[in-house]
Amino acid sequence: MEELARFGGHLISGEPWFPEEGVCCAEQLSAEFRRQMVELVRAGRTPEELAKEFQPSAQSIRTWVRQADLDDGRRQDGLTSAEKDELARLRRENKILRAEKEILRKCTAAFFARETDLPR
């Protein structure tokens, strides 16, 4: 079974695995740390064991494993990371387009209101 070496809060890669103070834990855990947690779960360790040893919650570890399984094609009951990124990008783009459409609608209404008020 694979073990992670811990020296002063650092993983094998040398990156700190613990979050900085005042910053959201999920955002600060490195992708390498998450990948190593997924590998340990796949090698037979339970998320609960890993949570006690390395501090992220067992549910976070289960979520990372589920997402890794989706990304690797091991399961089909959700969106891959690439699909999630594309969906977020399209939603942002859609929001911008709706705002632009609303601006054009208001400008057009104001223009025609002025045109109809002018004496001929």
Q: Which pLDDT score is estimated for 27? A: 55
> Mean per-residue pLDDT for 40-50?
97
CA 50 – CA 90 distance, rounded (Å): 36
Which residues partner with 7 through β-bridges? 10
- Percent of the chain residues topping a pLDDT of 70: 74
Q: Please tell me the predicted confidence (pLDDT) of residue 74.
A: 96
User: Measured between alpha carbons, how far is residue 12 from residues 32, 33, 52, 55 in Å?
Assistant: 10, 9, 19, 17
* Unique residue bearing structure tokens 């020296």: 7
Q: What is the pLDDT of residue 1?
A: 45
Amino acid at 6: R
Above 80 in pLDDT, residue 20?
no
CATH code assigned to 1-78: 1.10.10.10
What is the per-residue pLDDT across 47-102, written as a single tens digit (0 to 9) for each?
A: 999 999 998 999 999 999 999 999 999 999 999 999 999 999 999 999 999 999 99
Does residue 14 surpass a pLDDT of 80? no
